[in-house]
Amino acid sequence: MTIHYKKELIHFKHPFKIAHGTRTSTSIVFLQLHHNGLIGYGEASLPPYLPETQNSVISFFEKAKALLESISDLNEIDLLIEQIQIMQENNTAAKAAIDIALHDLYGKVKKQSCWKMFGCKKENTPFTTYTLGIDTNEMIEQKVNEGKAFKYFKVKLNGEYDKEIITTIRNKTDKPIIVDVNQGWKDKYEALKKIEWLNTQNVLFVEQPLAKEKLDDAFWLFENSPLPIIADEAMQQFTDLEKIKHCFHGINIKLMKCGGLSAAKKIITAAREYNLKIMMGCMTETSCAISAAAQLSPLVDYADLDSPNLITNDFFEGIKFTEGKIMLNDAFGIGVVKKL
Ligand code: MG
């Protein structure tokens, strides 16, 4: 097997303001694993607020190179992925890229789609949400129009203009909303008050209302909230599940947080035992990593995999959405074709 990688930038359709300027793009690294004339594709997405960078991903790939190049039999894929996982702590986006590329390659060797290999039924895919970021009222209204084919909206709130944002959306549509606070509310009392109001606004659940470390407050909210609370920042890797399982009604799994498809599958199995609701989410990713995540989506309750709709330069063609429903294809592996 040989390993090739490339740094790239993906650009947002709607650049957004942050404290020090405007964010227009996200750094990613694409990975290709070549084996017997077949290519497995993988992707690491690197949001600027997380520690991994393009250089850290590449140095992880270089560390994994000898192991990957020594592979002749892909039937050992589970063992191989386990070895990659324990090579070094964290580096979950780099691990996810390798895990995705290995699954893609393995599917191509076996002439099967990954969703089939995972024992999933194609018709059981969930609908994805369409994301509305924090923005001006005009831009929110424009995005509500752009996302009109989707069944649910995912709305970002941060404590500052929460009521105004929801009211702007509610003046345009009564579609169900998922709210993502990204740890933005200061305390549990503020959170409960806001959730009680959101409960009158056709909101399905609230993601990560409080700082990820505040598990006692999360538990209090879990017991008092009229709406389900979903862990995102508090639920990164498999080992976090034990800590948070009694403090939330559900979890948001992302390949870039947990280290790939094998890790995500393990989390899904355990989370089901704890009766947790499961959402499959994403960072800013192309159709490569999104199509990989979609392979497991028949096993989850909700999906937030709309990233290909939010970028201008998708390097891959992969899964499609019909009115927001994830449409898996029958192509081998993760079901993608490289286009750029
Ligand atoms: Mg989130």
Domain definitions of the chain by residue range: 2-111, 116-338
Report CA(301)–ligand 1 centroid distance (Å). Answer: 16
What average pLDDT does this structure show over 251-274?
98
Q: 280 has which bridge partners?
A: 253, 303
Residue type, 128: T
Could you tell me the pLDDT band of residue 72, with boundaries at 50, 70 and 90? confident
Q: 41 has which bridge partners?
A: 32
Q: In the CATH scheme, what is the code of domain 2-111? A: 3.30.390.10
Could you tell me the pLDDT band of residue 251, with boundaries at 50, 70 and 90? very high
Report CA(231)–ligand 1 centroid distance (Å). Answer: 8
Report CA(58)–ligand 1 centroid distance (Å). Answer: 26
pLDDT at 21: 87
* pLDDT tens digits, 304-328: 999 999 999 999 999 999 999 999 9
Residue type, 334: I
- DSSP code of residue 128: B
Report CA(172)–ligand 1 centroid distance (Å). Answer: 24
The fold of 116-338 is TIM Barrel (3.20.20)
Report CA(281)–ligand 1 centroid distance (Å). Answer: 8
pLDDT at 6: 98
Domains 2-111 and 116-338 share a fold: no
Distance, CA of 31 to CA of 334 (rounded, Å): 14
In percent, the amount of the chain with pLDDT more than 90 equals 95
- Assess contact for 16 and 23: CB atoms under 8 A: yes
Report CA(242)–ligand 1 centroid distance (Å). Answer: 19
pLDDT at 73: 86
Q: Are strands 38-46 and 21-35 parallel, antiparallel or unpaired?
A: antiparallel
Mean pLDDT of all residues belonging to the chain: 96
Report CA(180)–ligand 1 centroid distance (Å). Answer: 5
Residues 6+ apart with CB under 8 A from 76: none
Could you tell me the pLDDT band of residue 150, with boundaries at 50, 70 and 90? very high
Pinpoint the alpha helices (H) of 92-201: 92-110, 114-117, 137-146, 162-170, 188-198
Asked if residue 115 has pLDDT above 90, the reply is: yes
Report CA(64)–ligand 1 centroid distance (Å). Answer: 30
Distance, CA of 69 to CA of 196 (rounded, Å): 55
**Closest by CA position to 172, among listed 149, 150, 145, 153:** 145
Report CA(207)–ligand 1 centroid distance (Å). Answer: 6
Q: Give, in order, the Cα–Cα distances in Å from 313 to each of 8, 9, 145, 286.
A: 10, 9, 21, 8
In percent, the amount of the chain with pLDDT more than 70 equals 100
Is the whole model's pTM more than 0.95, yes or no? yes
Could you tell me the pLDDT band of residue 13, with boundaries at 50, 70 and 90? very high
- DSSP code of residue 161: S
Phi (first) and psi of residue 304, to 5 degrees: -130, 75
Residues 6+ apart with CB under 8 A from 1: 33, 34, 35, 68, 69, 71, 72
CA 32 to chain centre: 21
Asked if residue 29 has pLDDT above 90, the reply is: yes
Between 53-57, 71-75, 266-270, 290-294, the lowest mean confidence (pLDDT) is in 71-75
